[in-house]
């Protein structure tokens, strides 16, 4: 019996998405630079929701991802972070951003037709305390 497999994305496709993300400036206000970097990446991933899982794995890192990592670590090092601190910091930032982006993409808060409050088939099964 053959096992169906999910087709693999073409090599380099995630790197094209990463190339759309703003690089942080090295030197200056590192917090503002990393905030802008995260906001840019979040917006790009919302435009390309299929890419969030691919860019988060860092498998087959391409030139755009290498530039992105280099600029991020450079920004943190210029701010006084040691190399191990910079590594932990950018991984924590990216982990938070990927999780936040996935939650925003998959949570039905702005979709009234799927919301528990507006879905009559689910409404009856809600506890009385939240059926307002």
pLDDT tens per residue across span 52-78 = 877 766 666 899 999 999 999 999 999
pLDDT of 76 reads 98
**Cα–Cα dist 33/55, whole Å:** 20
pLDDT of 2 reads 60
Write down the H helix ranges in 48-119: 52-57, 63-78, 83-106
Model confidence at 80: pLDDT above 70: yes
What is the chain's mean pLDDT, rounded? Answer: 81
């Amino acid at each position: 019996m053959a096992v169906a497999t999910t087709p693999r994305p073409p090599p380099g496709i995630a790197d094209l998405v990463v190339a759309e993300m703003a690089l942080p400036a090295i030197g200056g206000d590192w917090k503002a630079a990393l905030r802008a970097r995260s906001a840019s990446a979040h917006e790009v991933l919302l435009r390309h929701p299929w890419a969030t899982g691919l860019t988060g794995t860092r498998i087959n890192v391409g030139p755009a991802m290498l530039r992105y990592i280099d600029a991020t670590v450079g920004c943190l090092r210029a701010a006084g972070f040691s190399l191990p601190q910079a590594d932990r910091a950018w991984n924590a930032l990216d982990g938070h951003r990927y999780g936040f982006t996935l939650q925003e993409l998959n949570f039905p808060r702005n979709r009234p037709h799927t919301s528990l409050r507006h879905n009559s088939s689910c409404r009856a099964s809600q506890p009385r305390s939240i059926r307002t």
